Amino acid sequence: MCRHVAYVGEPVALGELLVRPPHALLRQSWEPRTQTSGVVNADGFGVGWYAEGDPVPARYRRTGPIWADLSFHDLARVVRTGAFLGAVRGATVPGADGEAAASPFAAGPWLFSHNGAVPGWPGSLTPPAATLSAGELLRLEARTDSALVWALVLHRLRAGDAPGTALADTVREVAEAAPGASLNLLLTDGTTVAATAWGNSLWYLTGPDRVVVASEPYDDDPRWREVPGHTLVTADRADVTLTPLKEPSA
Provide the annotated active-site residues.
2
Q: What is the CA 49 to chain-centroid distance, rounded? A: 13
Query: Within the chain, what is the greatest distance between any pair of CA atoms?
Result: 51
- Spatial separation of the C-alpha atoms in residues 177 and 98, rounded to whole Å: 27
Q: Which long-range contacts (CB under 8 A, 24 or more apart) does 54-63 make?
A: 55/108, 55/109, 55/189, 55/190, 56/108, 56/109, 57/84, 57/106, 57/109, 57/111, 57/190, 59/104, 59/106, 59/111, 61/99, 61/102, 61/103, 61/104, 62/99, 62/102, 63/98, 63/99, 63/102
- Spatial separation of the C-alpha atoms in residues 241 and 101, rounded to whole Å: 30
